[in-house]
Amino acid sequence: MLPLRTAASRVRLISTQAARPCETLRSKGSIMARILIVEDSPTHAEQLQGLLVEAGHETTLARDGFEALQSLALTQPDLMLADYMMPGMDGLQLIETVRTNYPRVPSILVAARGSEDIAAEALQRGAAGYIPKRRISSDLVRTVQKLLGASSASRHNQSLAACWVLSDCQFVLKSNPDLLAPLVAMFREKMTQFQVADESTLIRISVGLTEALDNAIYHGNFELSSDLRDGDGLAWREGIKARRNESPYQDRKIYVQSHITRDEARFTIRDEGRGFDPSSLPETPDPAHLERSSGRGIILMRAFLDEVTFDATGNQVTLVKRRPVG
């Protein structure tokens, strides 16, 4: 694939009156979408424009991939329709470049001969649709409308996200460590949507959540001592394997609640183990515990969250991270 810088250096100026490589046609009725057509054949370009304008769309024509990239640099359409065989840069290369540089512009590849391999590669490169030229008359408008509907729904979802002010979730999980990473990833995505913190802080919050969930499973439900981690960790791994197949340990659940707003993220994690005495925890954690197996998780939780509080039995921990003021 030609890099964008190389492509840009070969673009002809679309404002030149003699060449007029980009032509914009509008329907007389209401315009539903702005569509960039990239087609080197005047006959095929006219056919595509005619069908789309009749359906109510605005179309702009570029005669090859380089002109398409220059057009995209000036204004981004709602959709791009690209021919497969073009001089200099084929449709697959163009679609991949557009996906990288203009990810919000969906693309449809048009090819003269239907080929499953071309279609599969187009989708892999970033195309959202594929139309054989022999089916242009029957499939073009329908495919475009379907894709525009999906794209419009995505944009509306983004607008709705700005109106989303609260997210409450509750989970009842088996004591399965494999569930923890996906759960933390989901919480991180929610916090990103609510803009609770920047990316660096989100990573730290995720680490704190992971430590709290680890504590709930391994020390709470499985009742494993941190001392088993010492050495090569074999005793720790064997302990986990055994607990996952023994009662009552394998039957215990973890209860997780999240409350996320634009001001804070609050998580409550409860296990069904024997618990511990929270008053035994030092008010000021010793940083030396970061080098040890015991107590390391609680230090990280307190370092990365604004509040970390346990209930009286030690079975439930609440973690809070507030959005910085200003």
- The closest of 9, 109, 108, 22 to 72, measured between CA atoms, is 22
Domain with CATH 3.30.565.10 in the chain: 166-322
What does the longest C-alpha to C-alpha distance in the chain come to? 84
Positive or negative CA dihedral for 148, 152, 153, 155? positive
pLDDT by position in tens, the chain (length 326)? 333 333 333 333 333 233 334 445 544 444 488 999 999 999 999 999 999 999 999 999 999 999 999 999 999 999 999 999 999 999 999 999 998 899 888 889 998 765 667 877 888 888 888 888 888 888 899 888 877 776 665 555 556 667 788 999 999 999 999 999 999 999 998 998 898 988 878 888 998 999 899 999 999 999 999 888 777 779 999 999 999 999 999 999 999 999 999 999 999 999 999 999 998 887 765 554 434 456 667 887 888 899 999 999 999 999 999 998 86
Structure tokens at 139: 């499939």
Architecture category of domain 4-162 in CATH = 3-Layer(aba) Sandwich (3.40)
pLDDT score recorded for residue 151? 62
- The closest of 80, 81, 88, 137 to 105, measured between CA atoms, is 80
pLDDT score recorded for residue 158? 59
CA 247, CA 222: separation in Å to the nearest integer? 10
Positive or negative CA dihedral for 218, 222, 223, 225? negative
CA 255, CA 221: separation in Å to the nearest integer? 11
Categorise residue 108: left if φ over 0, alpha if ψ from -120 to 50, beta otherwise: beta
- Classified as helix, coil or strand, 21 is coil
Q: What is the assigned CATH class of domain 166-322?
A: alpha beta
CA 270, CA 217: separation in Å to the nearest integer? 10
CA 129, CA 221: separation in Å to the nearest integer? 49
Q: State the first-to-last Cα distance of the chain, in angstroms, to the nearest integer.
A: 45
Domain with CATH 3.40.50.2300 in the chain: 4-162
The residues, any chain, with a CB within 8 Å of residue 133's CB and separated by 6 or more, are 44, 110, 111, 112, 113
Torsion from C-alpha of 192, 95, 126, 193, nearest 10 degrees:
10
Q: Render pLDDT for 266-287 as a digit per residue (tens, 0 to 9).
A: 999 999 999 999 988 877 655 5
Query: What beta strand segments (E) does the chain contain?
Result: 24-25, 34-38, 58-62, 79-83, 107-111, 129-132, 166-174, 253-261, 264-270, 307-310, 316-322
Q: Structure pTM?
A: 0.56
pLDDT score recorded for residue 4? 37
CA 30, CA 199: separation in Å to the nearest integer? 42
b/e burial code for range 293-316 (CB count within 10 A of at least 16 → b): bebbbbbbbbebbeebebeeebbb
- The closest of 267, 299, 270, 269 to 282, measured between CA atoms, is 299
DSSP assignment, residue 294?
Answer: T
Q: Are 267 and 187 in contact (CB under 8 A)?
A: yes
Structure tokens at 147: 């894709």
